[in-house]
A and B are shown apart, each in its own frame.
Chain A
Amino acid sequence: MKTRIISLILCIAVLLGLCSCAGGSGSGVTVDETLEFEPITSEGDKLLRYNPDRAWRLEAYCNISNTSADGQTVQVDPASNVKRNVQKYAEFTPQLCQVYFYLTGHKNEPTLPESVFERIQTVFDAAEDLGIKLLVRFAYQGDMQGTGEASDEIMLGHMKQLKPILEKNVKLIHTVEAGFLGSWGEWHSYNMEHDKEALLRGIVEMTPEELFVQVRYPGIKNVLIQTDPIYKRIGFHDDSFFGYRYCSSASTLNPGESDWNQIIREASRVPVGGETFWGYEHDEMIDGYDSILQFSAFRQNSFSIYHSFIEDGVGMGYAMEDWQKEYVTEGWLAKNNIIYTPNYFLDKDGNKVQRTVFEFVSDYMGYKLEARSADIKGALAKSGSLNVSLDLVNYGFSAAFNMYSGFAVLDENYKVVTTVDAGTPSAWNSRNARDYSDGTLLIHKISANVELPEKSGKYKLAFWVKNSAGTGARLGNNLDYSDGYTVLYDFEI
Chain B
Amino acid sequence: MKRIIALLTVLILAVAVVPAPVSSAADDATEAVIWEDFSRRDPGEKFDDSEIIIAEKEGSATCIETLGAIGGVNAVRFDYTSLRGYHNITGDQGFKLVYNKPRSLKGVSHTIYYVRMPVSRTDDAGNNWQKSGAAIMLYLGGYNWAQLKEGTIVQYLPKTGYEWKDIETNGMYLDLPSGFEGYIKIPVDSYKCGNITEGDSIHNYSVQQTILQFSNMGAQCGSAYINAVYGVAKNTDSIMVKLNGEKNARFYTTGATLDDIKSEKLLLDSAMRAVVLQNYASYPAGYDLVANGLFSTDHKKDVNAKLVEGAGGILGNPLIEISSETLGGFHDSDPYYNIKYPAFTTTEGFQAILFYVKCAGSHPLQPGRATFRFNIATSKNDEPRWTLLGEGKAKYLEKGSDRWKVADSDVQGIMSLPDNFEGYIMADISELLVSPIVDDLENRTATLSTIQFQAVGGDAGNAYVGGIYAITDKLDRNEMLITFNECEVYSLSDNEYAAPADLSAGTLDLDIDYEELPAATSSLKASVSDVTEATAKVTWDAFKGAKNYRVDLYVTQGQAEGEAVTYKCKQSIICNGTELTVDKLEGSTRYYAVVNAMNNSGSEAAVYLYQRFLTLDDGTASPPKEAYASTNEDEVASSGAYSDKPASATILLYIIISVGVAVVIVGAVVAIIVIKKKKGAKK
The 8 Å CB contact of A444, one of B516, B616, B634, B640, is B634
The answer to whether A331 and B636 have CB atoms under 8 Å apart is no
Partner-contacting stretch, out of B9-17, B379-387, B583-591: B583-591
Interface string of B614-657 (1 = CB under 8 A from A): 10111111111111110001111111110100011100100100
Asked if A232 CB lies within 8 Å of chain B CBs, one says yes
The answer to whether B612 and A287 have CB atoms under 8 Å apart is yes
A396 to B619, CA, bound (A): 24
The answer to whether A440 and B624 have CB atoms under 8 Å apart is yes
The 8 Å CB contact of A332, one of B588, B625, B629, B666, is B588
Asked if A3 CB lies within 8 Å of chain B CBs, one says yes
A267 CB to closest chain B CB (Å) equals: 11
The answer to whether B556 and A245 have CB atoms under 8 Å apart is yes
Asked if B293 CB lies within 8 Å of chain A CBs, one says no
Closest residue on chain A to residue B663 by CB atoms: A14
A329 to B652, CA, bound (A): 43
Interface string of A284-299 (1 = CB under 8 A from B): 1001011001000100
The answer to whether A427 and B634 have CB atoms under 8 Å apart is yes
Q: For residue B640, which residues in chain A have a CB less than 8 angstroms away from its CB?
A: 212, 231-233, 266, 269-270
Q: For residue B677, which residues in chain A have a CB less than 8 angstroms away from its CB?
A: 3
Interface residues on A, range: 35 or more
A341 to B559, CA, bound (A): 21
- Give the contacts of B142-187 with A (CB-CB under 8 A): none
The 8 Å CB contact of B647, one of A17, A336, A393, A447, is A447
Q: For residue A332, which residues in chain B have a CB less than 8 angstroms away from its CB?
A: 588-590, 614, 617
Partner-contacting stretch, out of A83-91, A95-103, A177-185, A430-438: A430-438
A247 to B647, CA, bound (A): 43
Asked if A162 CB lies within 8 Å of chain B CBs, one says no
The answer to whether B623 and A342 have CB atoms under 8 Å apart is yes
Interface string of A224-263 (1 = CB under 8 A from B): 0000000111000000000011111000001111001100
Asked if B562 CB lies within 8 Å of chain A CBs, one says yes
The answer to whether A427 and B637 have CB atoms under 8 Å apart is yes
A232 to B617, CA, bound (A): 41
A240 to B255, CA, bound (A): 53
The 8 Å CB contact of A424, one of B556, B564, B638, B678, is B638
A482 to B399, CA, bound (A): 79
The answer to whether A256 and B628 have CB atoms under 8 Å apart is no
The answer to whether A440 and B633 have CB atoms under 8 Å apart is no
Asked if B245 CB lies within 8 Å of chain A CBs, one says no
- Give the contacts of B643-683 with A (CB-CB under 8 A): 643, 647-649, 652, 655, 659, 663, 666-667, 670, 674, 677-678
Q: For residue B666, which residues in chain A have a CB less than 8 angstroms away from its CB?
A: 10, 14
- Count of interface residues, chain B, beta-carbon cutoff 8 Å: 57
Interface centre among B515, B619, B623 (most CB of A within 10 A): B623
- Give the contacts of A260-289 with B (CB-CB under 8 A): 260-261, 264, 266, 268-270, 284, 287, 289
Q: For residue B616, which residues in chain A have a CB less than 8 angstroms away from its CB?
A: 329, 331
Interface string of A179-218 (1 = CB under 8 A from B): 0000000000000000000000000000000101000000
The answer to whether B670 and A10 have CB atoms under 8 Å apart is yes
Asked if A156 CB lies within 8 Å of chain B CBs, one says no
Asked if A134 CB lies within 8 Å of chain B CBs, one says no
A446 to B564, CA, bound (A): 38
A342 to B626, CA, bound (A): 13
Q: For residue B612, which residues in chain A have a CB less than 8 angstroms away from its CB?
A: 287, 289, 326
The answer to whether B659 and A329 have CB atoms under 8 Å apart is no
A402 to B638, CA, bound (A): 8
The answer to whether B625 and A437 have CB atoms under 8 Å apart is no
Q: For residue A231, which residues in chain B have a CB less than 8 angstroms away from its CB?
A: 640
Q: For residue A437, which residues in chain B have a CB less than 8 angstroms away from its CB?
A: 560-561
Asked if A387 CB lies within 8 Å of chain B CBs, one says yes
A435 to B634, CA, bound (A): 15
Closest residue on chain B to residue A229 by CB atoms: B641
The answer to whether A246 and B562 have CB atoms under 8 Å apart is no
Asked if B574 CB lies within 8 Å of chain A CBs, one says no
The answer to whether B617 and A329 have CB atoms under 8 Å apart is yes
The answer to whether A21 and B624 have CB atoms under 8 Å apart is no
A17 to B658, CA, bound (A): 13
Asked if B563 CB lies within 8 Å of chain A CBs, one says yes
The answer to whether A269 and B636 have CB atoms under 8 Å apart is yes
Closest residue on chain A to residue B669 by CB atoms: A10
Q: For residue B516, which residues in chain A have a CB less than 8 angstroms away from its CB?
A: 245-248
Q: For residue A401, which residues in chain B have a CB less than 8 angstroms away from its CB?
A: 638
Given that A232-B640, A329-B616, A447-B649 are known contacts, is A340 also in contact with B623, CB under 8 Å in the complex? yes
The answer to whether B515 and A246 have CB atoms under 8 Å apart is yes
Asked if A333 CB lies within 8 Å of chain B CBs, one says yes
Asked if B20 CB lies within 8 Å of chain A CBs, one says no
Q: For residue B609, which residues in chain A have a CB less than 8 angstroms away from its CB?
A: 284
The answer to whether A232 and B648 have CB atoms under 8 Å apart is no
The 8 Å CB contact of B636, one of A297, A423, A427, A447, is A427
Asked if A422 CB lies within 8 Å of chain B CBs, one says yes
The answer to whether B628 and A445 have CB atoms under 8 Å apart is yes
Asked if B565 CB lies within 8 Å of chain A CBs, one says yes
A256 to B633, CA, bound (A): 25
Given that A445-B629, A448-B648 are known contacts, is A424 also in contact with B674, CB under 8 Å in the complex? no
The answer to whether B639 and A232 have CB atoms under 8 Å apart is yes
Q: For residue A335, which residues in chain B have a CB less than 8 angstroms away from its CB?
A: 588-589, 621
Q: For residue B618, which residues in chain A have a CB less than 8 angstroms away from its CB?
A: 331
Asked if A159 CB lies within 8 Å of chain B CBs, one says no
The answer to whether B674 and A3 have CB atoms under 8 Å apart is yes
Asked if B367 CB lies within 8 Å of chain A CBs, one says no
Closest residue on chain B to residue A435 by CB atoms: B561
Asked if B545 CB lies within 8 Å of chain A CBs, one says no
B38 CB to closest chain A CB (Å) equals: 55
Interface centre among B560, B562, B652, B655 (most CB of A within 10 A): B562
Q: For residue B619, which residues in chain A have a CB less than 8 angstroms away from its CB?
A: 331
Closest residue on chain B to residue A332 by CB atoms: B588
Asked if B194 CB lies within 8 Å of chain A CBs, one says no
Interface centre among B588, B620, B678 (most CB of A within 10 A): B588
In the complex, 8 of the A-B residue pairs with CB atoms within 8 angstroms, ordered by the A residue number, are A3-B678, A21-B655, A332-B589, A340-B624, A424-B634, A426-B639, A428-B634, A433-B633
**Pairs A-B, 8 closest by C-beta atoms:** A331-B588, A232-B640, A426-B638, A256-B564, A331-B617, A269-B640, A331-B621, A442-B629
Q: A293-B559, A331-B620 are in contact. List 8 more A-B contacts (CB 8 A).
A: A289-B614, A334-B624, A339-B624, A422-B648, A424-B647, A433-B633, A439-B625, A442-B633
